[in-house]
Amino acid sequence: MRRKGKGALFLGVVSAVSGEFGIDPTIGRVVFAVLLAISPLAMSILYFLLALLIPTDDSPEKLSDRVFSLLDEIARWFEGALNPKDERFLAGFLLLIGFCLLFANWLPPGIIPLGTRTGGLVMMLLAVILPASKGEGQNEALGSG
């Protein structure tokens, strides 16, 4: 099992796992978004652990070196997702808003108005469904996510 960066919504974890089990990555992403809304902290920790443990084609062999490689990968994703000209901008924007809404319960009151799990789930589902509706990465879908 390998994570592939090309066409990945974030780090490619969900589509790598979906591909391993023969499930469409969009369905895997929707299931993950629902599970994330139910248990944001546990699913976030699980996601980043899997991102660390499931290598990419160019991941270092040593696990300690993979930590820095993963941090670089996250930084590159943010560079693209925060650039309005990048194809990942809309999905990245919705993922960030959804993630903030999911964790709104742990933030001081008033920082994120209307911070509900439902709002976070809606944003994350939009982030998952919109790229799929455009047909982006459908041919490479088993390696993206």
Residue 49: its pLDDT value, please?
Answer: 92
Mean pLDDT of the chain: 75
**Cα 17–chain centre separation:** 13
- Residue type at position 111: I
The residues pairing with 56 across neighbouring beta strands, listed in sequence order, are 3
Range of lowest pLDDT (21-25, 70-74, 132-136): 132-136
pTM above 0.75, yes or no: no
Rounded CA-CA distance 42/24 in Å is: 23
pLDDT, tens digit, for every residue of 43-59? 889 999 999 998 887 87
The first and second tokens of residue 102, run together, are 């999911």
CB count within 10 Å of CB 80 equals 13
pLDDT, tens digit, for every residue of 7-47? 577 888 988 998 889 988 888 888 888 888 788 788 889 99
